[in-house]
Structure 1
Amino acid sequence: MSVKPPLTELPIKTADSGFYRGFSVDVTVVSKIIIAALVVWAIVWPEWAGEVLGAWNTTILANFAAWYIWVVAFFIIVCLGLALWPTAGRMNLGVEGETPEFSNFSWFSMMFGAGIGVGMLTWAVAEPVAHFKNNPAVIQGVTTALDANNVREAYVWSFLHWGLGAWACYAVAGLALAFFSYRRGLPLTIRSSLTPLFGKALSGVLGSIIDIVAVVATILGVAQTLGFGVDQFVAGLTRIGIGGLVYGAEAVNEAGESIAGDANTVGIIVALLVIMGASTLSALSGVGKGIKWLSNINMVLSIVLLGFFIIFGATFFGATAFFVGIFDYLVALPGLSFNVWVSDGVEGSEAFKLAQWQGWWPVFYWAWWIAFAPFVGLFLARISRGRSIREFVLGAMIVPALMCFVWFSWAGGTAIDLELNGNANGLILDAGNGDKIFAMTEFMLAPIADALAWAMAVMIVVLLMTFLVTSADSAVLIVNTINAAGDEGPKARPHILFWGAALGLVVAGLLLSGGTSAIQTAMVIGALPFSVVMVLMCFGLIKAIWNDGRREKAGVATTHDNVVATPAE
């Protein structure tokens, strides 16, 4: 039987005139309605929204925890398999002979900044400290909370959450989009990656549903990042002397715990106006200008801050955490990738605590990375044209993961070392997650000079600002690209302004209705349907590469510039 050429045309109906000219009306309007409804619900009926989201979260964690754990393990296997597969590894994400548009430095800067950069400023310190206090080994009595024997366990879990699993989610989405858009010439949108499975049927309603799911997941995934960022941004503003943006020390939550340091309503509004205003202006300038320059700036500032922790922080402690942590992580990875703890329903029991902890940490993170995947994946595809599949996978998985490990080792390691051996006496442990990095740097520098501590806080606020703006403006551009049937060209200003405002309102609404936990719940829910799409993307990509190998042997063209006919895949 003869080998057919690949599908290189996928018509997507867009409006020819009017306000939505160049956009898929179905995808754009339905996406806007869903997001607008969520915003109105969260802002007008915050208590009801909080209760419903909480109930849904309980249901999902009870029934889909195993799905989230296993599906991310599947993504790791697929990515590494494609890199090792000779036929796949050498294929160019573009036409034959095409070279990358961006230098390696700019490529890594944009990839790291948009993908995970902002999370480093919160979680590089907060997460190792959190796991130092509690993790499954502590729950099972194997190690002791806040003891030196618990440091290695703290890093196993920190590296698990920010390592290969996180970047495999991004790589799957980015690889599929780049392959079908730049090799096949199909629209740069999520539906194109499923053409080997559904063919031209994706031109219609099925394709629109897939793109709508991607848009909603993107908004909720980025909202999660911005939600954490808002709290930390306000904490930073407070540290540098701008007061009145956090709850007073007397404020407590329903559990009776102090919430001092969390952003109040004024703080949320101020932070979002600054962040979303700057990001919308940057989005109007496009990827090659505002986003590229912001990414390079925050990469330089990141190196300066990281250098401070490596040189003046716990240098040897951090180095030990890095190398020993990677060893422990790689040894534990196969088991942790498939392990699922099941609650026995008895509150306070070991099984209950383990299942609850897994829902708080691994399941939450896997949902976060999946919800973030259409955004980061499409962005990775946009900046990775002309690279080989092997180069893309290794570059998008291993290098950023190692950068995360470096941050966690020296920033988080410095915090743990100060608590263990540096007389911090709970100063860092007791600070809010977003405030921990400020508390730590102030503890380190204030004895030398208050001005130095203040200057460091200012630098961290600026770095946080550039990371948040990079993430938000990239998300706005990517959502508009999906809505415009994959068109990467300039978008009408009203649509950029709408999605910039919508993203800010989603964050504000969910924060006001239930704090970051409400955003977390909405994101976990939004990620579920897109996780199914991502599994289909894997199968579609594998099928396409397999068929391209057969085509090459038969002398049939595999890239859009050489294909004349356009039959189904």
Structure 2
Amino acid sequence: MREWIGPLSIRGHDMRQFDQHDDTRISETAALVIGRAPLWNISDPLQINTVQRGVYEGFNLVVSVCAKLLVVCMVIFLVMLPDVSARLLELLKTATLTVFASWYVYVLALILLSCFVIACLPVSKRLRLGPDGVLPEHSTKSWLAMMFCAGIGIGTLAFAVSEPVSHFLINPDILAGTMETGGAAAVSSAMRFVYLHYGFSAWATYAIVGLALGLACHRHGQPMTMRSGLVAILGKRLEGSAGHVIDVISILAVIAGITTTIVIGLEQICSGLSMLTGSRFFADNSGNPPLIALFTALVVLTAVAIASIVSGVERGVKWVSQLGFVLFFTVLAVFVVFGGGVRVLGVLADGTVTYLKSVAVHATTIYDPKISAASSAQRDWQGDWTIFYWAWWIAFAPFVGMFVAQISRGRTLREFILGTMIAPAFMCFIWFAGTGGTALMLELDGTAAGAILSAEHAYRLYETVDIMLSPGVAAVFKAVLVLLFLILIVASASAAIIAIKSIGAGGSKLAETPFHSILWAFVIAANAGAIMAVGGVASIRDVMIVSALPSSMILALMLVSVCVGIFKESRGFPRLRFPSIPS
């Protein structure tokens, strides 16, 4: 039998007309009782103003123009005042690491912990990214494959050998004197830190953005743009300047992330071409790529990226991504078959177990330089590696998070979190065990004879190929690696530009003209070129650490928004209950 609310009349509003479970009407009446306007319904889509005609038709003028102007102004500043820019960048990096290193570590740790807690909540088993009862749009197999493709980037290839070898030579355990470099135990330690950087913490940043956007957009019909992820806590305020600021910061973060990807990829391409051709055009006497080579590669890359975008998502970006995926696993297979063999399984198992045992400790560790010289060295290592990676993942979170949200409609919260965090992380573990683990095995058994350890980081991948394969086959395979670097850069840049346009258009799909894609390609290329001209490839770490700071604060707010949204969903908040009488 229907239960009716008891006879209660306040300020002329007869409450017996409302059903006890009619949340919206009760909330509106309650708002009138306390003298406020009716509460805003989260399912009312944000009204984001867009231009109706002209060059910026379909775009929000404030977000699109402000983002472009800020990047262009920075490029002009870098080019006009290179010495001042270099000193300022160094000061900003030092200040950021001094003041905010703990913030980076703890905010990522909090996001990681929160994701696991949310996945364990009973409500996460039934609450879906979409209306109740909606089914997933993609099969689980296809969904997980797309999820991993979203995370495949330059870092996984460029640091495939370089990072495990670097941590094999120096890491916090070695700096503390608890472990010696060069032994079998150092392999486990090295892989543990590699897995820390590519494990659950990295994917949790994507998961929290995807979760915030998935709940807001798929379940409540909000536009697919970054500001929508905060709708549970900021509501209609996001239609104005607050929302514009969030979207502009997100665009700048994506640009910083893709610039880092481009610069690291260009260095690897030039290093590979130097080994293939022996030409000094691609490497100076110290083995570093000169600016002229980097700029030439940047021009070629920009042209290919524009061609990929202009040709359309289906024919261009999708084709490039699929080819990159095939080549990616071809590289892994070659390393395992011709290099590490079954020993890779031991590296994988040992590294995974040690990572799982230590992730809670390492994800929350802050090294204090005041304690000892070893702690100071550990703090420097943490800034160069862990903080850099946390900043990189935060910068990529807007566009990777938007992508995983788009493909996850119909998934329960538990499915989404576990699928986003665990499956791709373990695929990264397999990748680094097969590539970096192979390089370390070749050094330990004496096959490499120190060639990989002594090589510059940009050449370690190619040196490993030379050791594994015969000269002729190695030359072909190195050419494939150079091609794969180019493909990954183009795919990442194309996806980033699509995400930037989507944010600039307030989530609208109407702004499909190629003009803005081409314009953004040139803006990003100019930004990458200016940074390389000022500080070289090494400066990109400093840029990443500084530029990701504002975006990290948005991620923290998104975590709050997700928690508030889930609480409202699970408790029916806001709801007023009045005494009932039997009918």
Q: Would you say 1:313 and 2:339 are equivalent positions?
A: yes
Q: Would you say 1:165 and 2:189 are equivalent positions?
A: no
Q: Distance in 2 between matches of 1:485 and 1:332?
A: 41
Counterpart of 1:227 (choices 253, 263, 267) is: 263
Task: Report % sequence identity.
Answer: 35
Residue 529 of structure 2 aligns with an amino acid whose one-letter code is: A
Counterpart in the other structure of 2:351: 325
Counterpart of 1:435 (choices 459, 478, 481) is: 459
Task: State how 1:30-41 maps to structure 2 within 5 Å.
Answer: 30-41=66-77
Quote how far apart the aligned CAs of 1:105 are: 5.3
Quote how far apart the aligned CAs of 1:109 are: 4.4
Q: Distance in 2 between matches of 1:473 and 1:295?
A: 10
Counterpart in the other structure of 1:498: 519
Quote how far apart the aligned CAs of 1:552 are: 10
- Tell which deviates more after alignment, 460-469 or 83-92: 83-92
Residue 387 of structure 2 aligns with an amino acid whose one-letter code is: V
Q: Would you say 1:541 and 2:565 are equivalent positions?
A: no
Residue aligned with 1:8, SS: coil
- Tell which deviates more after alignment, 127-136 or 234-243: 234-243
TM-score, normalising length from structure 1?
A: 0.90
Task: State how 1:402-413 maps to structure 2 within 5 Å.
Answer: 402-413=426-437
CA contact (8 A) 2:168 2:186 kept: yes
CA contact (8 A) 2:344 2:433 kept: yes
Counterpart in the other structure of 1:6: 42
Unaligned runs of 5+ in 2: 1-19, 25-40, 576-583
Residue aligned with 2:344, SS: helix
Q: Distance in 1 between matches of 2:278 and 2:404?
A: 36
Q: Would you say 1:181 and 2:213 are equivalent positions?
A: no
Residue 379 of structure 1 aligns with an amino acid whose one-letter code is: F
Shift in alpha-carbon separation, 1:164–1:287, aligned structure 2, 3 A = farther
Shift in alpha-carbon separation, 1:93–1:290, aligned structure 2, 3 A = farther
Quote how far apart the aligned CAs of 1:240 are: 2.9
- Tell which deviates more after alignment, 367-376 or 127-136: 367-376
Q: Distance in 2 between matches of 1:373 and 1:103?
A: 24
Residue 263 of structure 1 aligns with an amino acid whose one-letter code is: P
Q: Deviations over 1:184-242 (max 9, x none)?
A: 11111111111111110110001100111101011001111111111011122223327
Counterpart in the other structure of 1:27: 63
Residue 306 of structure 1 aligns with an amino acid whose one-letter code is: L
Counterpart of 2:404 (choices 380, 391, 394) is: 380
Q: Distance in 2 between matches of 1:439 and 1:159?
A: 23
Q: Distance in 1 between matches of 2:216 and 2:282?
A: 47
Q: Would you say 1:127 and 2:157 are equivalent positions?
A: no
Shift in alpha-carbon separation, 1:51–1:490, aligned structure 2, 3 A = same
Residue 342 of structure 1 aligns with an amino acid whose one-letter code is: D
Counterpart in the other structure of 2:293: 267
Q: Distance in 2 between matches of 1:545 and 1:410?
A: 39
Counterpart of 1:66 (choices 82, 102, 112) is: 102
Task: State how 1:67-216 maps to structure 2 within 5 Å.
Answer: 67-104=103-140, 106-216=142-252
Quote how far apart the aligned CAs of 1:276 are: 2.2
Q: CA RMSD in A?
A: 2.1
Residue aligned with 2:331, SS: helix
Counterpart in the other structure of 1:343: 369
CA contact (8 A) 1:210 1:533 kept: yes
Q: Distance in 1 between matches of 2:133 and 2:490?
A: 34
Q: Distance in 2 between matches of 1:267 and 1:113?
A: 29
Q: Distance in 2 between matches of 1:395 and 1:375?
A: 18
User: Bigger radius of gyration, 1 or 2?
Assistant: 2
Counterpart of 1:360 (choices 370, 384, 403) is: 384
Residue aligned with 1:516, SS: coil
Residue 535 of structure 2 aligns with an amino acid whose one-letter code is: G
Q: Would you say 1:528 and 2:549 are equivalent positions?
A: yes
Q: Distance in 1 between matches of 2:272 and 2:244?
A: 41
CA contact (8 A) 1:231 1:434 kept: yes
Q: Distance in 1 between matches of 2:272 and 2:91?
A: 33
Q: Would you say 1:391 and 2:415 are equivalent positions?
A: yes
Residue aligned with 1:124, SS: coil
- Tell which deviates more after alignment, 306-315 or 217-226: 306-315
Task: State how 1:229-268 maps to structure 2 within 5 Å.
Answer: 229-241=265-277, 243-249=279-285, 258=286, 260=287, 262-268=288-294
Q: Distance in 2 between matches of 1:138 and 1:313?
A: 27
CA contact (8 A) 1:114 1:474 kept: no
Q: Deviations over 1:289-317 (max 9, x none)?
A: 43332222222112211111122211233
Shift in alpha-carbon separation, 1:501–1:442, aligned structure 2, 3 A = same
Unaligned runs of 5+ in 1: 250-257, 555-569
Residue 399 of structure 2 aligns with an amino acid whose one-letter code is: F
For this pair of structures, how many residues does the alignment match?
A: 539
Counterpart of 1:458 (choices 473, 479, 497) is: 479
Q: Deviations over 1:49-68 (max 9, x none)?
A: 11110111011111111111
Counterpart in the other structure of 2:502: 481
Q: Deviations over 1:56-86 (max 9, x none)?
A: 1011111111111111111111222222222
Residue 417 of structure 1 aligns with an amino acid whose one-letter code is: M
Shift in alpha-carbon separation, 1:363–1:98, aligned structure 2, 3 A = same
Q: Distance in 2 between matches of 1:268 and 1:113?
A: 27
Shift in alpha-carbon separation, 1:492–1:425, aligned structure 2, 3 A = same
Q: Distance in 1 between matches of 2:272 and 2:125?
A: 44
Q: Distance in 2 between matches of 1:105 and 1:274?
A: 35
TM-score, normalising length from structure 2?
A: 0.88
Q: Would you say 1:419 and 2:443 are equivalent positions?
A: yes
Q: Distance in 2 between matches of 1:111 and 1:27?
A: 28
CA contact (8 A) 2:348 2:433 kept: yes
CA contact (8 A) 2:384 2:541 kept: no
Counterpart in the other structure of 2:304: 278
Q: Distance in 2 between matches of 1:531 and 1:91?
A: 27
Residue 407 of structure 2 aligns with an amino acid whose one-letter code is: I
Shift in alpha-carbon separation, 1:407–1:299, aligned structure 2, 3 A = same
